[in-house]
């Protein structure tokens, strides 16, 4: 749905990090990079709401710039892989973040 809205995500994954005690849905998109961070969250929530997901139903999100060290390392390491969907990551430092566990939908 976010791709259909023109946001073309470069990274989409669920992640559990040392920073947070719960899972977060992680996004990175060049289109979102063009917006301020507040605008980026607003745009994503608008798209989700247009698809019937209220703010209360939406999982906790983390939007990163594609220039963030975490996103850059993900893309450098896994971006050329033929298929990253369903890949599990964890127990490792990626960029500047320690990932306890992650489930990948896309790294491009």
Give the whole-number percent of the chain exceeding pLDDT 90. Answer: 81
Q: How many domains does the chain have?
A: 1
- Give backbone dihedrals phi and psi of 44, rounded to 5 degrees, phi first: -60, -45
- Interval 38-49 mean pLDDT: 94
Distances (CA, A) of 15 to 11, 30, 59, 88, 100: 12, 20, 12, 10, 8
Task: Identify whether 3 is part of a domain.
Answer: no
Task: Identify whether 1 is part of a domain.
Answer: no
Task: Identify whether 96 is part of a domain.
Answer: yes
Mean pLDDT of the chain: 93
Question: What is the span of the domain harbouring residue 61?
Answer: 11-107
CA dihedral (30, 8, 79, 62) positive or negative: positive
The predicted-structure confidence for 64-84, as pLDDT tens digits, reads as follows 999 999 999 999 999 888 889
Task: Identify whether 46 is part of a domain.
Answer: yes
Let me know: does 17 contact 25? Beta carbons within 8 Å.
no
Task: Identify whether 4 is part of a domain.
Answer: no
On the question of pLDDT at 95 being above 90, the answer is yes
- Interval 11-22 mean pLDDT: 91
């Amino acid at each position: 749905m976010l791709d259909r809205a023109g946001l073309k995500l470069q990274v989409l994954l669920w992640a559990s990090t040392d920073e947070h005690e719960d899972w977060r849905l992680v996004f990175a998109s060049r289109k979102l990079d063009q917006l301020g961070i507040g605008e980026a969250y607003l745009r994503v929530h608008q798209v989700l709401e247009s698809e019937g997901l209220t703010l209360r139903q939406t999982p906790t999100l983390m939007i990163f710039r594609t220039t963030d060290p975490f996103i850059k390392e993900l893309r450098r390491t896994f971006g050329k892989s033929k298929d990253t969907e369903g890949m599990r990551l964890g127990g490792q430092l990626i960029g500047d973040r320690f990932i306890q566990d992650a489930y990948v939908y896309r790294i491009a």
